[in-house]
């Protein structure tokens, strides 16, 4: 009950939960309905295509049967023995006997014939081959005559016509095929032969299709012009004429609406929803009709729909569970904000009719807090003004005046205890100022001010103010708990670490001496400011007191000894880097004891000495310096610590010593570089050798050979082979050239010599090396 009560009280949470769950229900429901609709439509489309393929095959079978019967009918009609039976007025008995024999022979030779009837117009007589026709006292003959000469139902020649010869139920048991001279409608004024085809033979293909269609819950029919349906299973016809007419109307309506000769339509047949696929026969004015139960056809779709609904329900349950978790996760920050607002706004338990939900509540509480903060902000502006005034113009106030102002504005400064001033300044501020936007600088200043004041106030009464944007000033008083300022140093260290951790800013701090009179605040602030530059000795992120730089402030020496500067210059000219480094280190060790301004001047003088020495050496040497030395002249303005200044000067000395070597060494290096360049350019030349190189550089072969060997520990010939083999190795990694071509391009004419050198260097023959690279 408690959980339910908490839930009911959180109106915004209810709204989030209901929105998420309702969205999920709608999406899942729409997805399920869409999937089943698409599936049903796809099944219909696939079933139509499948049915039309079946009907096309049946149409082909019927056309093939019609062709067979047509050929047989022509043969029978032109039979010389049967012609007298059709046209003689007075038929001799022998011709009659021969005619019957011919008819029986034709029947026996054609398994699909049920019987043959010959009509003689001159005699108005029918001759038939079946036993009932001959022995039932004319009953069968009368039935055939009535059907054949029915004026209300004329029959076309050379067409399969469904008839009922023996069944009294009216169901067909044969198909009649009339052959006469006329090509149109048969009439009694012409002789003809009527071939009766067994219905089973005609429906044989339908039987086979129906065997397959059982799996599809349907049956194939033949429909005539009147809409009557015939099937191989005569006991399973669409029972009533009403149902057959309904099928005809559905088909005719679809044909008219879609203007097509084949297709499918869905409608009610015999009280059941059915899918009817149809196709015109094209020759006999028949239609091939395939009727399927729609419910059975869509049985799989219904099962799939049910499964989809079940899966959707499962997913919805899981989604609801997840939505509850997600909603509470999203709601958690709002709940935290409400708790914080309740801590700062009095009377938070009283309900407000305008607070419709948590957001409205927070809005109201924010307005109350905003009003309160506005009042506090106005008061803080006045307080910060007086604090800045105390730090810059404290000599304008008496001690009692400042005491009254501190009490009046409730400043957190002790009026009876000693005070110190701490200044926190950003290291490398010019670079920070150049790389940071105005809004970001304000944010950093605000953060530094609040963090410093909050951490210091935990142990000492403290007021903090930001001045000029590059530093924060803390006015720290002794407290009843802390009788001295020993904890100030570790607290400042914690402040530096915290700001560096959060904002990656390095701060240095200057701490003034203790004062007991308020008018000395400006002097204490000035002292703390002047202490900070001594980070040049102690490094960035340092904490500096007057006691720590007392030796620097009392030192009267203002310049380095001339002997150090002279020895540094001589060492550079001689190229003696160790001596130059030693003198530079001595110089920095001495100048670190100077007053701050004197340090900067000493560093500037060292920079000029190193630059002038470099210019003097460079003017007398062939090899020039790689870069200009002007950058070292600005070290005292660009760097903040001696360590930062020492490293560039030491690097400059190393560079100068690199060019200050003896002239002989310069000449030898130039010769060696020339030899290497010649080999790199002419490695493909078959005539390249130590002698040819000596000729090019105008020196003896023995001299350059010894010079090269002493310098590189290898002979010129070995170096030539090394360069050639490296180029051969690169060319072998592609299949652009043959091995012979590569050998020639790399300056070798002897293949065995080339192969031996290559295997010695790489451990494999050129061919093996190429194969390995191609494979791997």
Task: Read off the tokens for 3.
Answer: 């959980």
The dihedral through the CA atoms of 698, 704, 705, 708 has a sign that is negative
| pTM listed for this prediction | 0.43
Is residue 736 located within the same domain as residue 764?
yes
Is residue 114 located within the same domain as residue 128?
yes
Q: What letter would DSSP give residue 165?
A: S
> What b/e sequence results for 128-167 when a residue is b if at least 16 CB atoms lie within 10 Å of its CB, and e otherwise?
bbbeebeeeeeebbebbbebbeeeeeebebbbbbbbebee
pLDDT at 170: 53
Cα–Cα distance between 529 and 548 in angstroms, integer?
A: 15
Cα–Cα distance between 164 and 169 in angstroms, integer?
A: 8
Q: Give the N- to C-terminal CA distance of the chain in Å, as an integer.
A: 72
Query: What strand order describes the sheet that includes 507-511?
Result: 462-467, 471-477, 419-426, 507-511, 543-545
Is residue 113 located within the same domain as residue 244?
no
CATH number of the domain that residue 386 is part of: 3.30.70.270
Whether residue 288 contacts residue 218, with contact meaning beta carbons closer than 8 Å, is answered with no
pLDDT (average), residues 486-504: 91
pLDDT at residue 215 greater than cutoff 60 = no
If you average pLDDT over every residue of the chain, what do you get? Answer: 80
Domain with 156 in it: 78-202
Least Cα distance to 247 among 278, 218, 217 occurs for 278
Q: Select the highest-mean-pLDDT range: 14-18, 251-255, 338-342.
A: 251-255
Would 351 be classed as within a structural domain? no
Q: How many separate domains does the chain show?
A: 5
Would 10 be classed as within a structural domain? no
pLDDT at 3: 44
For 404-438, the pLDDT digits (tens) are: 888 887 888 888 889 999 999 999 888 888 888 88
> What b/e sequence results for 459-491 when a residue is b if at least 16 CB atoms lie within 10 Å of its CB, and e otherwise?
bbbbbbbbbeeebbbbbbbbeeebeebebbeeb
pLDDT at 402: 82
pLDDT at residue 675 greater than cutoff 50 = yes
Least Cα distance to 165 among 195, 207, 189, 206 occurs for 195
For 627-670, the pLDDT digits (tens) are: 567 778 888 888 888 888 888 888 888 888 765 454 445 567 77
pLDDT at 442: 85
Tell me how far the alpha carbon of residue 129 is from its chain's centroid.
Answer: 83
For 149-170, the pLDDT digits (tens) are: 887 778 888 888 888 777 655 5
pLDDT at 35: 76
pLDDT at residue 549 greater than cutoff 80 = yes
Is residue 617 located within the same domain as residue 682?
no
Would 24 be classed as within a structural domain? no
pLDDT band at 377, cuts 50/70/90?
low
Task: Read off the tokens for 36.
Answer: 């089943």
pLDDT at 214: 45
Which residue shows structure tokens 């349950």?
317
Is residue 619 located within the same domain as residue 580?
yes
pLDDT (average), residues 553-562: 89
Q: Select the highest-mean-pLDDT range: 204-208, 244-248, 728-732.
A: 728-732
pLDDT band at 348, cuts 50/70/90?
very low
Cα–Cα distance between 282 and 213 in angstroms, integer?
A: 23
Would 394 be classed as within a structural domain? yes
Whether residue 673 contacts residue 645, with contact meaning beta carbons closer than 8 Å, is answered with no
pLDDT at 10: 62
pLDDT at 125: 87
Query: What strand order describes the sheet that includes 287-293?
Result: 229-230, 218-223, 287-293, 272-280, 262-269
pLDDT band at 50, cuts 50/70/90?
confident
Provide the pairing of β-strand 229-230 with 218-223.
antiparallel
Q: Select the highest-mean-pLDDT range: 350-364, 542-556, 689-703.
A: 542-556
For 513-547, the pLDDT digits (tens) are: 999 888 888 899 999 999 999 999 888 899 999 99
pLDDT (average), residues 79-97: 86
pLDDT at 364: 66
Is residue 127 located within the same domain as residue 106?
yes
pLDDT at residue 194 greater than cutoff 70 = yes
Task: Read off the tokens for 679.
Answer: 């080999």
pLDDT at 5: 46
Would 716 be classed as within a structural domain? yes
Q: How far is the CA of 343 from the CAs of 349, 370, 450, in angstroms?
A: 11, 15, 20
Q: Which of 180, 202, 224 is the last residue of a domain?
A: 202
Cα–Cα distance between 534 and 540 in angstroms, integer?
A: 10
For 287-311, the pLDDT digits (tens) are: 788 888 777 777 777 777 777 778 8
pLDDT (average), residues 457-478: 88
pLDDT at 534: 92
The region of weakest confidence among 366-370, 415-419, 504-508 is: 366-370
Is residue 502 located within the same domain as residue 423?
yes
Element (H, E) at 507: strand 507-511
pLDDT band at 4, cuts 50/70/90?
very low
DSSP string of 528-547?
Answer: HHHHGGGHHHH-SS-EEETT
Q: How far is the CA of 649 from the CAs of 283, 326, 604, 620, 686, in angstroms?
A: 109, 61, 11, 22, 50
Q: Select the highest-mean-pLDDT range: 16-30, 125-139, 683-697.
A: 683-697
Radius of gyration of the chain (CA): 58
Q: What are phi and psi of 136, to 5 degrees?
A: -100, 25
Is residue 494 located within the same domain as residue 598?
no
Element (H, E) at 296: helix 294-297
Whether residue 390 contacts residue 465, with contact meaning beta carbons closer than 8 Å, is answered with no
pLDDT at residue 376 greater than cutoff 80 = no
Is residue 520 located within the same domain as residue 559?
no
Is residue 643 located within the same domain as residue 709?
no
The region of weakest confidence among 92-96, 332-336, 593-597 is: 332-336
Cα–Cα distance between 615 and 607 in angstroms, integer?
A: 12
pLDDT (average), residues 752-758: 91
Is residue 611 located within the same domain as residue 683?
no
Percent of the chain with pLDDT over 90: 11
The dihedral through the CA atoms of 728, 730, 733, 734 has a sign that is negative
Q: Which of 299, 324, 354 is the last residue of a domain?
A: 299
Q: Which of 202, 225, 257 is the last residue of a domain?
A: 202
Which of residues 563 and 59 earns the better pLDDT score?
A: 563
Is residue 250 located within the same domain as residue 101?
no
Would 42 be classed as within a structural domain? no
pLDDT at 349: 47
Provide the pairing of β-strand 174-180 with 419-426.
unpaired
pLDDT (average), residues 669-680: 85
The region of weakest confidence among 130-139, 354-363, 380-389 is: 354-363
pLDDT at 421: 93
CATH number of the domain that residue 211 is part of: 3.30.450
């Amino acid at each position: 009950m408690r959980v339910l009560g908490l839930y009911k009280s959180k109106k915004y949470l209810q709204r989030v939960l209901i929105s998420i769950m309702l969205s999920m229900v709608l999406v899942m429901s729409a997805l399920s309905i869409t999937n089943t609709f698409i599936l049903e439509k796809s099944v219909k489309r696939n079933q139509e295509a499948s049915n039309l393929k079946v009907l096309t095959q049946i149409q082909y079978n019927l056309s093939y049967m019609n062709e067979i019967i047509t050929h047989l009918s022509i043969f029978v009609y032109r039979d010389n023995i049967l012609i007298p039976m059709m046209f003689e007025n007075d038929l001799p008995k022998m011709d009659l006997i021969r005619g019957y024999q011919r008819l029986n022979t034709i029947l026996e030779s054609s398994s699909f014939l049920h019987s043959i009837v010959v009509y003689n117009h001159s005699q108005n007589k029918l001759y038939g081959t079946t036993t009932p026709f001959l022995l039932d006292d004319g009953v069968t003959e009368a039935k055939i005559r009535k059907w054949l000469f029915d004026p209300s139902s004329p029959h076309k020649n050379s067409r399969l016509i469904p008839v009922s010869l023996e069944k009294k139920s009216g169901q067909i048991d044969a198909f009649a095929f009339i052959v006469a001279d006329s090509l149109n409608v048969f009439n009694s004024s012409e002789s003809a032969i009527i071939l009766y085809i067994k219905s089973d033979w005609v429906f044989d293909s339908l039987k086979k299709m129906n065997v397959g269609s059982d799996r599809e819950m349907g049956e194939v029919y033949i429909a005539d012009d009147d809409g009557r349906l015939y099937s191989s299973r005569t006991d399973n016809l669409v029972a009533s004429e009403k149902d057959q007419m309904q099928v005809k109307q559905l088909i005719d309506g679809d044909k008219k609406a879609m203007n097509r000769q084949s297709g499918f339509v869905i409608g009610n047949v015999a009280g059941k929803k059915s899918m009817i696929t149809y196709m015109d026969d094209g020759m006999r004015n028949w239609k091939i009709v395939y009727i399927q139960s729609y419910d059975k056809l869509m049985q799989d779709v219904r099962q799939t729909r049910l499964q989809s609904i079940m899966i959707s329900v499962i997913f919805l349950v899981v989604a609801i569970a997840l939505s509850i978790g997600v909603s509470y996760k999203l709601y958690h920050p709002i709940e935290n904000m409400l708790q914080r607002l309740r801590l700062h706004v009095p009377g938070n338990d009283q309900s407000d009719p305008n607070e419709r939900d948590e957001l409205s509540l927070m809005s109201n509480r924010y307005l109350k807090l905003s009003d309160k903060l506005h009042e506090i902000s106005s008061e803080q502006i006045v307080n910060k003004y007086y604090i800045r005034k105390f730090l810059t113009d404290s000599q304008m106030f008496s001690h009692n005046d400042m005491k009254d102002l501190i009490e009046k504005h409730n400043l957190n400064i002790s009026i009876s205890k000693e005070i110190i001033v701490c200044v926190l300044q950003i290291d490398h501020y010019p670079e920070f100022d150049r790389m940071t936007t105005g809004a970001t600088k304000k944010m950093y200043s605000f953060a530094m001010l609040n963090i410093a004041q909050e951490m210091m106030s935990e142990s000492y009464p403290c007021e903090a103010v930001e001045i000029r944007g590059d530093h924060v000033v803390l006015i720290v008083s002794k407290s009843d708990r802390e009788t001295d300022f020993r904890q100030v140093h570790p607290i400042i260290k914690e402040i530096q670490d915290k700001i560096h951790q959060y904002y990656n800013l390095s701060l240095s701090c200057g701490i003034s001496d203790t004062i007991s009179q308020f008018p000395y605040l400006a002097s204490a602030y000035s002292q703390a400011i002047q202490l900070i530059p001594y980070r040049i000795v102690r490094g960035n992120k340092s904490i500096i007191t007057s006691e720590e730089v007392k030796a620097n402030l009392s030192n009267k020496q203002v310049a380095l000894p001339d002997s150090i500067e002279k020895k540094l210059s001589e060492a550079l000219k001689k190229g003696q880097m160790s001596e130059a480094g030693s003198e530079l280190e001595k110089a920095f060790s001495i100048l670190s004891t100077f007053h701050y301004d004197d340090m900067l001047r000493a560093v500037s003088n060292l920079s000029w000495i190193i630059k002038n020495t470099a210019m003097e050496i460079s003017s007398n040497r062939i090899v020039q310096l790689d870069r200009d030395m002007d950058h070292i002249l600005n070290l005292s303005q660009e760097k903040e610590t001696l360590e930062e200044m020492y490293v560039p000067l030491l690097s400059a000395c190393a560079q100068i010593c690199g060019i200050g070597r003896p002239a002989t060494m310069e000449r030898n290096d130039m010769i060696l570089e020339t030899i290497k360049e010649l080999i790199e350019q002419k490695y493909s030349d078959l005539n390249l050798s130590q002698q040819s190189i000596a000729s090019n550089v105008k020196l003896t072969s023995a001299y350059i050979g010894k010079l090269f060997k002493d310098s590189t520990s290898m002979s010129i010939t070995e170096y030539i082979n090394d360069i050639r083999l490296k180029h051969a190795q690169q060319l072998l990694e592609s299949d652009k050239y043959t091995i012979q071509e590569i050998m020639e391009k790399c300056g070798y004419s002897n293949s065995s010599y080339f192969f031996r050198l290559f295997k010695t260097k790489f451990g494999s023959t050129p061919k093996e090396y190429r194969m390995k690279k191609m494979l791997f």
